[in-house]
Amino acid sequence: MPPRVNTAQRRLLKEYQQLTKDCPEGIVAGPVSEDNLFVWDCLIEGPKDTPYENGVFPARLTFPTDYPLSPPKLVFTPSILHPNIYANGEVCISILHPPGEDPLQYERPEERWSPVQNVEKILLSVMSMLSEPNVESGANIDACVLWRDNREEFERRVRADVRKSLGL
């Protein structure tokens, strides 16, 4: 096994142990199986006082073998309506973008991924993103337009996603 994989596995195991001891409210996350620390299932609770409130949204975190040098990918399964979530469920936020300069010069390097980030910070950032979409840098243009131009319809659709997330 390459040394990087061992480093990544040790780091992921340590993060998982920390999360099981002291997990932030509204988040549950861990490896899908003990045999593969590079794929995690997550449950993210919709933040209070948002249209996502009371929802419980499943997501999958997939880590690269050079983690923590490169960021993982987070995908909601199923996708939910949000300006910063692609139609396939993939989350688009700065903390999950590769380290370094942004080729589009939209994000500062310190906003992007760095090895000091961790699973807990990622999931807390996603909860924050649910509360405060960034429509200036949208992944889902239709959701951005709906959020900006017809907030009532946007919230109605999100509440439908919430009901779906609860099996209602």
Residue 27: helix, strand or coil by DSSP?
strand
Residue 143: helix, strand or coil by DSSP?
helix
42 a catalytic residue: no
Give the residue among 44, 59, 83, 67 at the shortest CA–CA distance from 116: 67
The residue annotated as part of the active site, out of 23, 42, 92, 144, is 92
- Dihedral sign, Cα of residue 66, residue 67, residue 73, residue 77: positive
DSSP code for 85:
B
Question: What CA–CA distance (Å, rounded) separates 41 from 35?
Answer: 14
Q: Where are the alpha helices (DSSP H) in 85-140?
A: 119-131
Question: What CA–CA distance (Å, rounded) separates 123 from 120?
Answer: 5
Q: Which residues pair with 58 in a beta bridge?
A: 43
Catalytic annotation, residues: 92
